[in-house]
Amino acid sequence: LCATYALNKPYGCLSQFVTNASRKKKSHKLLSDLPRVASLGHSSQLMAVGRLDLHTEGLLLLTTSGSFSRAVTYGFGPGRERVSKEYWCQVD
């Protein structure tokens, strides 16, 4: 049974669930620190599909399926047809 979720990753949150403790600053949150992610029930099996920089916010897919994550990140099928991605950035 696989599950996929859409998350609006907040500013200042690392796009990962675990990190080397010596690299994590106390001000940085991990995805597993977010209450809405912890409430999903199987957060130990979730992985982020791709990543967003620490100082950005936006759509981040979370899934329990490694094959879905690889397909979205690297492409589908034998020819590895790429998934088109579009990014929009606003700089203050």
Q: What are phi and psi of 83, to 5 degrees?
A: -90, 125
Contact 15, 74 (CB under 8 A): no
- The whole-model pTM stands at 0.75
pLDDT digits (tens, 9 = 90+) for 9-68: 998 888 887 766 655 666 678 887 887 787 776 667 888 888 888 888 889 999 989 888
pLDDT digits (tens, 9 = 90+) for 73-85: 887 766 666 777 7
End-to-end Cα, the chain, rounded Å: 42
Q: Which amino acid is at 46?
A: L
What are the residues whose beta carbons fall under 8 Å from the beta carbon of 9, sequence distance 6 or more? Answer: 15, 31, 52, 56, 57, 58, 59, 60
The catalytic residues are: 53
pLDDT digits (tens, 9 = 90+) for 21-38: 655 666 678 887 887 787
